[in-house]
Structure 1
Amino acid sequence: MRKITLDEFKNYTFLSGIDHAPGGKFAAFAVHKVDLEGNKYLSNLHLYDAEKNAVRKLTAFNKESSFKWLNEEEIVFSTIRDDKDKEDSESLKEFTQVYKIHIHGGEADKFIRFNKRVSSYEFLKNGMILASVYFDNNAKDQLSLDEKELSEELKRLKEEKDYEVLEEIPYWSNGGGFTSRKRNRLALFDSEGNFQKYLSSEFTDVELIKLSRDKSHAVILSSTFTDKMPLYNELSIFDGANVLPLETKGLSLSYADFLSDTTLILTATDMKYLGINENGKFYKYDLEKGELTLLTKDLDMSLYSSVGSDARYGGGKQRGVYNGELYFTTTKGTDSHLMKVNGEGELTEVLAEEGSVDSFSIEEGHLLYIGMKNTSLQALYALEDGTSRQITTFNDWIHEELKLSIPETLSYPLEDGRTIDGFVLKPADYEKGKKYPVLLEIHGGPKTVYGSVFYHELQYFASEGYFVIFCNPRGSDGKGNDFSDIRGLYGAIDYEDLMNFTDLALETYEDMDSSNLFVTGGSYGGFMTNWIIGHTHRFKAAASQRSISNWISMFNTTDIGYYFADDQTASSPWENHEKMWDQSPLKYADQVKTPTLFIHSEEDYRCWLTEGLQMFTALKYHGVESRLCMFRGENHELSRSGKPKHRVRRLTEIDEWFKKFQPKES
């Protein structure tokens, strides 16, 4: 067996988007591979035949990652394949080309060409198509223009690429670029993709469309705003002709679906107890009576999976209704489980195994899910009689070829009886009695968790001879609202938990070299890395990634800053300014002695480049050895879904930075 290489992820297979065909006999999912030389990801659809228990490749164009079942045997997906479509796309002409493929063979054929840029669409019972359409209030409606006018407008749009005019906040979004006055607008099309009419205003942004079981009507989540996007959104019903608003009494809704033709189930929070990170609850909306009812008053759990890993690509369904019950993923402790809730608010555990449920599908009693377990990469599983059965074997080779370090649990109790749970990876070639360096890894969020699932970066550093330690300090997910609430306490109790966990690891594992400690983390983990180096000199070197250094600048420059920064620090630049500054690592930069590498992406609008630049400048000003590596064309997701060569360079930077400060062997 061999050690994991820095670029080993090029050999992994990533799965996403499992979804059943009507009837449940077939299911499709996307399979993603890394093309390191081409610096891209190759995505194709695969088919699972339940009767034959067989998986086969369905597409081979390397661009198919999202899809929709048209019927029991046909799949549709949007893509650009021919030269004419590519030319139209490059000219900024609005269109979306949908292809259709039969699961029993044959090439994909052009099916529908929308004459608008469509982001999502649903086929209605009457043959019409309900869709979310890209709409730019800064541009002219291309369908209203004649050939000459369209040519002039396309020319103008190309020229406008050199300018951005901002008129609202947020004015950009991570991974989405500049968004000022741009929306996803609800629209109706005929069966051939011809635009019929808009169903929402020009300043309404559609977040979710879910059809009723008979596909005659839909529930819509959206936000309507100018100047500043609100934190509370809107619920409405499309009745087949019009969109009718529903009263939700000041809730922030994250999901809506039909339990029946006359009953909706919602996940929502009023944010009054814990602000933006408050765990949601389930509500029922009776469409006939117009009544909203809270189903789970005492519920206090995460309603999504937040188990982190850098060995995923693509997404998939984490909530869905089947037989009048809503199935959903939840984070419990260090794992994500699958549960269901009925119309009375009764909760039932469906799947509670170690690891993560990344996405799932259920049809005709058949439940499939994509997950990670037993320190393995993703696989497709079937849940049968309460037991998981693995279907795909794309990644089984890692246990046959690679030296993996199995996570060992390590926890310590808090005074209130709760625990800080974490893990330790021993060096891959561990020899008892030999001293090894220690790397503390800190997750993002902060409301996420580390689990025992496969994590490429952590496994790589274990293969390079580090003890890798990682935990879930207060602020993390999986243990209810109170545990995740660190508003106004950033750098206080979470810092205490991380340092106590480090001390416990050093006491527990005598072969850890306490004089040879390193630290890294991204996003919130980058914030904590910046904070740590300003409050202790115990680490020989640090790598701060996509970090926050100054809450005041973060508030005023990032896509979530104006509502995240004030909520999390319990202050603002104008109210209790000093409290916000007190929680900013930049304030303590003059105390730093630790050599620090900064990793940042030019298009990271979640934790903008200025955060890394400020901290880097401060360290250089005070004579601390430091380095900043900026990645063009990347955003906040660099470590998880960035271009393959960029992911290699990122990990190379961290690896070489730490090695630079390792003791020289005599």
Structure 2
Amino acid sequence: MGLKIEDLEKLVLVSDPKISPASRKVAFVITRISTKEDKYNSSIWLYNITEDSYYQLTEGPSDTSPTWSPSGRYLAFVRRTEEQGKPTFELRVIDIKSCGQSRVVVKTEGGISSISWSPDEKEILFISSKGEVEKDVKHIENIPIWFNGIGFIYNRLSRLFVVDFLSGNLREVEVDAKEDISYARWSPAGKKIAYISSTDRSRPYISDIHIFDPDSGREEKLTRGNMSIEDFAWSPTGTKIVFRGSDLSRGLAGHMRLWILDLRTAEMEELGIPDRDVANAMNSDVRGPSSGQKIQWYGENIYFPLMMGYKVALYKWNEKNGISPVIEGDFTVEDYSMMGDLIASTIMSSTTPPELYLLKGGDLRKVTSFNDSLLRTAKLMKPERFSVKASDGEIIDAFILKPARFEYGKKYPAILYIHGGPATAYGESFIHEFHVLSDAGFVVIYSNPRGSTGYSEEFRDIRGKYGTRDYLDLMEVLDTAL
């Protein structure tokens, strides 16, 4: 009963589901951990909805970011390799119709992210970094300094590139040379490119949405330079953009919220979302790579994740009915995508690693079983949630995970876990480390003290109170647990 440290290699991490435009297949990423190689190995798999079966599509060992072409015939993805000891990233495309070998469209040393096919399927937009040649002596004035998997980035900027799908001809999108770009998408008609960028390297969290017209070369900033913006989605008509961002009214302690930009009037409006974070900031040590959009605009509905205390649900909003849940329960919805009446998602809980689920007609069904055999053998203990009324009256969510072979009346060593951030949360997400400690005979106690996200902004905002109010919450949780 329980998990061992070495069971980490037996876990299979399922992530980044993408439904094909024809709604017959779901591409997703499978990641396995190799302690011998000290690395994560990833490959792309396909789930056939009609046949209810799944199989490996690419050989890996480092394939991520599956992205369907508009017709659904082609699937683009990123492969990380090494050349002369340096990481190299390949944008590859595979013809699903012929199921042949993937081919390299373009290579870069600067990483590849934010892949977006042009609607006519002729070009692929992506972000990659470029900059000065690395030197032995570094004079650093910018932040951030380092990015895992790439290295030093203080002397590099992330820029927009477009590659011709067939010829491989590559060109940089000529926007302002000072812009560091984090997210980009073609418009539904393929006439414009929207992107998010920052220009202040000392405050990289300040970002704006821009529109670029490739025909005229005209660039327009749509926001006011006073927000932190994560991502966005075009409306189906291409006349509006919904984005996820913070107005920084509480500094970096504020929630991500939803805003709509009307491109015809330049007006911006905040949507009426409850006082919760439009994000997924749950702690977990078994997440696979993800390139999925956190917000999607499909038909009349805008879809988004919402932190609800110790779990994450998928919600939707439309102008007529407002906000309503789509997928919710005692679990965390990770990635998702939709097409027609189908939603593919990856879901995890405190006792189950992420697996692929399919929602159709209100019926949510688990369609992969990569971790079932391990879980049957492990028979994990379920963490018990309890609430603590803090000394100032606030309610704190807390959890206790008992030893795998727990006996009432017997004493056990206890460990109090404190999450970082502080704007993250513990709850219905899988943490291998906790179950290893449970198997080793420890009681694991953890909670969401002040500063955690998933609750109100007032709960989250502890500026000026670090190490005081959160410390009291933690001690009061510990006293209650003991």
**Do both proteins adopt the same fold according to a TM-score greater than 0.5, normalized to the shorter chain?**
yes
Cα 1:399/1:172, change in 2 over 3 Å: closer
1:640 matched residue in structure 2: none
Amino acid at match of 2:361: D
Aligned partners of 2:80, 2:148: CA distance in 1, in Å?
24
Q: Secondary structure at the match of 1:266?
A: strand
Deviation at 1:220, TM superposition (A): 0.8
2:127 matched residue in structure 1: 132
Cα 1:332/1:199, change in 2 over 3 Å: same
- Is the aligned partner of 1:499 residue 2:475? yes
2:106 matched residue in structure 1: 113
Aligned partners of 2:393, 2:468: CA distance in 1, in Å?
19
Q: Secondary structure at the match of 1:79?
A: strand
- Is the aligned partner of 1:66 residue 2:65? yes
Cα 1:234/1:402, change in 2 over 3 Å: same
1:291 matched residue in structure 2: 267
User: Equivalences for 1:47-126 in 2 at 5 Å?
Assistant: 47-70=46-69, 71-79=71-79, 89-90=83-84, 97-103=90-96, 106-113=99-106, 117=110, 119-120=112-113, 121-125=115-119
Cα 1:464/1:389, change in 2 over 3 Å: same
Which of 157, 163, 172 is 1:183 aligned to? 157
Aligned partners of 1:206, 1:381: CA distance in 2, in Å?
32
Which of 466, 480, 486 is 2:442 aligned to? 466
CA contact (8 A) 1:167 1:181 kept: no
- What percentage of residue pairs aligned between the two structures are identical? 28
1:551 matched residue in structure 2: none
| 201-210 vs 238-247, greater mean Cα deviation | 238-247
User: Equivalences for 1:308-327 in 2 at 5 Å?
Assistant: 308-317=283-292, 318-327=294-303
Q: Secondary structure at the match of 1:308?
A: coil
CA contact (8 A) 2:240 2:262 kept: yes
Amino acid at match of 1:270: D
CA contact (8 A) 1:114 1:194 kept: no
CA contact (8 A) 1:188 1:199 kept: no
2:243 matched residue in structure 1: 266
Aligned partners of 1:294, 1:204: CA distance in 2, in Å?
26
- Is the aligned partner of 1:233 residue 2:226? no
Cα 1:496/1:16, change in 2 over 3 Å: same
Task: Tell me which protein shows more strand as a share of its residues.
Answer: 2
Deviation at 1:407, TM superposition (A): 0.8
2:278 matched residue in structure 1: 303
User: Deviations along 1:72-114, whole A, 9 cap, x unmatched?
Assistant: 2321223367xxxx5xx43979x85433323366442324235
**TM-score of the superposition, structure 2-length normalised?**
0.91
Cα 1:464/1:379, change in 2 over 3 Å: same
Amino acid at match of 2:73: E
Amino acid at match of 1:98: L
User: Deviations along 1:168-226, whole A, 9 cap, x unmatched?
Assistant: 34444566532223101123444423233432233211111122233332211111236
Aligned partners of 1:409, 1:275: CA distance in 2, in Å?
31
| 170-179 vs 303-312, greater mean Cα deviation | 170-179
User: Equivalences for 1:416-565 in 2 at 5 Å?
Assistant: 417-506=393-482
CA contact (8 A) 1:423 1:452 kept: no
Q: Secondary structure at the match of 1:475?
A: coil
User: Equivalences for 1:288-437 in 2 at 5 Å?
Assistant: 288-296=264-272, 299-317=274-292, 318-343=294-319, 346-373=322-349, 375-414=351-390, 417-437=393-413
Cα 1:39/1:269, change in 2 over 3 Å: closer
Higher relative contact order (CA 8 A, sep 6+): 2
- Is the aligned partner of 1:217 residue 2:210? no
Q: Please list every run of at least 4 consecutive aligned residues from structure 1 whose deviation after the TM superposition is greater than 6 angstroms.
A: none
Equivalent residues, number: 474
1:658 matched residue in structure 2: none
Amino acid at match of 1:231: Y
Q: Secondary structure at the match of 1:458?
A: helix
User: Equivalences for 1:136-285 in 2 at 5 Å?
Assistant: 136=131, 138=132, 157=133, 160-173=134-147, 176-191=150-165, 192-225=167-200, 228-241=202-215, 242-249=217-224, 250-259=226-235, 260-272=237-249, 274-285=250-261
1:597 matched residue in structure 2: none
Amino acid at match of 2:79: T
User: Deviations along 1:120-143, whole A, 9 cap, x unmatched?
Assistant: 34332453443323220x3xxxxx
Aligned partners of 2:85, 2:433: CA distance in 1, in Å?
40
User: Deviations along 1:367-387, whole A, 9 cap, x unmatched?
Assistant: 010011361111111123334
Unaligned residue ranges in structure 1 (runs of 5+): 139-156, 507-666
Amino acid at match of 1:131: F
Q: Secondary structure at the match of 1:101?
A: strand
**TM-score of the superposition, structure 1-length normalised?**
0.67
Deviation at 1:366, TM superposition (A): 0.5
CA contact (8 A) 2:243 2:259 kept: yes
Structure possessing the higher radius of gyration over alpha carbons: 1
CA contact (8 A) 1:27 1:49 kept: yes
